[in-house]
Amino acid sequence: MEVFDRAGALRAFGKEHILRATVEVFLSEVEGMRQKLRDAAQGGDMGETAHWLKGGFAALYAPAARDAAERLEAAARDGRDTSALVAALDGEMVRLSEFLSQK
């Protein structure tokens, strides 16, 4: 799945400079987002955290991370084991961060 849908994001944000500024916010916030995920894995509300992350990735047009967050949210909601999905989402966040940092 695509890490970042640049064309979709550009259509949504309207202008390159707005998209770029939003990406910069993501890059400055991503470590905090990863920490929030780790905190949830240590006994926080995983469903809420995954939903929160999913919203951000949807708005940023990051389909792979959004999908990983969605699967994690569903597993948390159903009471299934989430450890592998937490690792997968964390990996997607790193991948997205690295991808966007190169652009």
Maximum Cα–Cα distance for the chain, whole Å?
A: 42
Least gap, CB of 98 to other proteins (angstroms): 17
Asked if residues 3 and 96 have their Cβ atoms less than 8 Å apart, the reply is yes
Q: Is 60 in the site for other proteins (CB under 8 A)?
A: yes
Q: Using CB under 8 A, which of 18, 35, 38, 94 touches other proteins?
A: 18
Least gap, CB of 20 to other proteins (angstroms): 10
Question: How far does CA 39 lie from the centroid of its chain?
Answer: 15
Which residues bind to other proteins, rule: CB under 8 A?
Answer: 8, 11-15, 18, 21-22, 25-26, 29, 45-48, 51-52, 54-56, 58-61, 70, 76-77, 79
